[in-house]
Chains A and B, each alone.
Chain A
């Protein structure tokens, strides 16, 4: 029993990290109907900024400064890219985010350097053993994993409230449904886009710090985003809670598959399990677990 619980817990923790990145995708998709391929690059950029700033100043200051950088980036993206693409097809905006991806990746490494930079949040790295009386040998858990889970939980809760309960959140959802109609009732698209890219910049920063403190800040962070794509397919592109549930399912699923199925069909299952699951979902439930159904009038 003990090992199973350990695998599940390990999966949940990995899942939380996927969820953090997936959240960024969902936010921008929800608020502008664009799949933002650049989310991974934003995670890398934010983490790089934070890591380098925190070398020279206390962490809270570095955090605020890095957030400032992300807001500036949001503003520039709106100004230079999105503004001239109002009312264009989704595919055009999607491809524009491809361009943004490579630009941000290059720019980030140009400004901040391309080495591996550590982020040390000062948390105990030693895993703790709990429930020793219940199970033989107890269960190993990491404190920083727990913290990451708590942060993710808090983020999701506040974002869900923001989208459902506030006027700005409502306006964001309105823009996602229909750019033109939103414009016609006086919702300023420009400001909305800056807000939503800033919010997802914030999520990217949190995700970058959490991932960076585990793996070190390096280029491969940008690739973590690729793992978040199956997460949003599973959870639904438009659902904030979906990003979390999807992340957890994929995290747990791939760990369980690796440990229990791996020996049977050969290793390496962890690398493609998520994509296989996403593919199945695309076939049976393309809107994901919690996504909005496409409404068609017949």
Chain B
């Protein structure tokens, strides 16, 4: 496991998250992201993927959630008490599930809001804008369009591009494939890989599309019911029989029906 030996950029240690003071969503999640890595959090609906990302970016409070146990460290600094704005200044930015573009702003204005926390000169910002357009040429042709009227894929690109404008060291990417055609999903993940290699941006991504995520990630954690039930190098996870059966829907006996999968899950949870 060479990946986990690299110095951790982000480490999450046994965090517990409670919503509304009563609903326990995360029951001790630990994970780490090495400098320059792409780490995927996988799991079904309601497993706690989004909550984990929000705990890191500190966007939980608006949802009445709170980290009650454990710690989150970024470059060795405890970041639990920092505001989202402070985190963005330190280089950690979240791209939220469902894209959340500013619908009434143009694509370009959306991108520019990403640079809000930087006191950069006009020239710097223009250069960064060009860089974003070089990664997402399609955005350049739509730069004057109101973001609300662009396609789902273009909105996802706008959201990622907007995050890039903050010059992040690490992007928390929540469900980039949501509601997008498979082709577009591949396109987005290719860009993620590109950004990772060329811009040295580390990624922590939450994804339901296990198959695609494992292809692009180096390391993966599988979350179930607020706990990490399995972790490992992406390659190993993709070959693991349980993962194949529970999340990819394939096994030695060919495709299983949904009923059988449910049965296995119940058994597994029982054992855990």
**Does B associate with A?**
yes
Interface residue ranges, A against B (CB under 8 Å): 86-87, 167, 170-171, 173-174, 176-188, 238, 292, 295, 297
Please tell me which one of the listed residues A87, A185, A188, A238 contacts residue B113 in the complex, with CB atoms under 8 A apart.
Answer: A185
Instruction: For residue A82, give the distance in angstroms from its CB to the closest CB of chain B.
Output: 12
Q: Mark B63-97, 1 if CB is under 8 A from A, else 0.
A: 10000000000000000000111011100011110
Contact check, A170 vs B59: say whether CB atoms are below 8 A apart: no
Chain A residues with CB below 8 A from B84, complex form: 183-184, 186
Contact check, A183 vs B93: say whether CB atoms are below 8 A apart: no
Interface assignment of B57: CB less than 8 Å from any CB of chain A = yes
Instruction: Report the Cα distance A173→B147, complex, angstroms.
Output: 13
Contact check, A178 vs B166: say whether CB atoms are below 8 A apart: no
Contact check, B100 vs A181: say whether CB atoms are below 8 A apart: yes
Contact check, A174 vs B102: say whether CB atoms are below 8 A apart: yes
Q: Contacts A87-B62, A183-B59, A183-B62 given; indicate if A188 touches B83 (C-beta within 8 A).
A: yes
Contact check, B85 vs A187: say whether CB atoms are below 8 A apart: yes
> Assuming A178-B103, A180-B59, A295-B148, what are 16 further A-B pairs, CB within 8 angstroms?
A167-B115, A170-B109, A170-B116, A177-B105, A178-B101, A180-B96, A183-B62, A184-B59, A184-B94, A185-B162, A185-B166, A186-B87, A186-B116, A187-B116, A292-B104, A295-B146
Interface assignment of B205: CB less than 8 Å from any CB of chain A = no
Minimum CB distance partner of B114 in chain A: A185
Instruction: Report the Cα distance A235→B26, complex, angstroms.
Output: 48
Please tell me which one of the listed residues B89, B95, B100 contacts residue A178 in the complex, with CB atoms under 8 A apart.
Answer: B100
Instruction: Report the Cα distance A87→B54, complex, angstroms.
Output: 14
Contact check, B100 vs A180: say whether CB atoms are below 8 A apart: yes
Instruction: Report the Cα distance A177→B109, complex, angstroms.
Output: 12
Please tell me which one of the listed residues B88, B96, B113, B163 contacts residue A170 in the complex, with CB atoms under 8 A apart.
Answer: B113
The residue in B62, B63, B89 that gathers the most chain A C-beta atoms within 10 A of its C-beta is: B62
Looking at chain A's contact residues, the main secondary structure is helix
A sample of 8 inter-chain contacts (CB < 8 A) reads A178-B102, A180-B100, A181-B102, A185-B162, A186-B89, A187-B117, A292-B104, A295-B146
Instruction: Report the Cα distance A238→B149, complex, angstroms.
Output: 18
Q: Which of B144-174 contact A (CB under 8 A)?
A: 146, 148-149, 152, 162-163, 166
Interface assignment of B18: CB less than 8 Å from any CB of chain A = no
Q: Mark B112-151, 1 if CB is under 8 A from A, else 0.
A: 1111110000000000000000000000000000101100
Contact check, B62 vs A180: say whether CB atoms are below 8 A apart: yes
Contact check, B113 vs A174: say whether CB atoms are below 8 A apart: yes
The residue in B103, B110, B114 that gathers the most chain A C-beta atoms within 10 A of its C-beta is: B103
Contact check, B96 vs A181: say whether CB atoms are below 8 A apart: yes
Q: Contacts A167-B112, A173-B102, A178-B102 given; indicate if A185 touches B62 (C-beta within 8 A).
A: no
